[in-house]
């Protein structure tokens, strides 16, 4: 679910806003964890900066 404008976001009840923020943060953490696991599996040689 994507909100079109910030104005729409502020029309939502506060608990819903907090839940959306929490889900977004959790989603970001999960993506980082998955990327780390992939890097470990494939070997970090290709991913070294």
- Give per-residue pLDDT as tens, 7-47: 776 787 888 878 888 888 888 898 888 889 888 877 655 55
The pLDDT of residue 30 is 85
Cα-based distances in Å from 10 to 3, 7, 47: 10, 5, 40
Predicted TM-score (pTM) of this structure? 0.42
Cα-based distances in Å from 36 to 5, 9, 42: 33, 32, 10
C-alpha span between 36 and 49 (Å, rounded): 14
Given a cut of 70, whether residue 48 has pLDDT beyond it is no
Q: Cα 27–32–37 angle (5° rounding)?
A: 125
The pLDDT of residue 39 is 85
Given a cut of 80, whether residue 6 has pLDDT beyond it is no
């Amino acid at each position: 679910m994507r909100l079109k404008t910030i104005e729409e976001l502020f029309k939502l009840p506060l608990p819903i806003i907090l839940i959306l923020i929490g889900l977004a943060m959790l989603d970001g953490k999960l993506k980082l964890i998955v990327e780390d696991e992939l890097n470990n599996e494939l070997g970090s040689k290709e991913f070294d900066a």
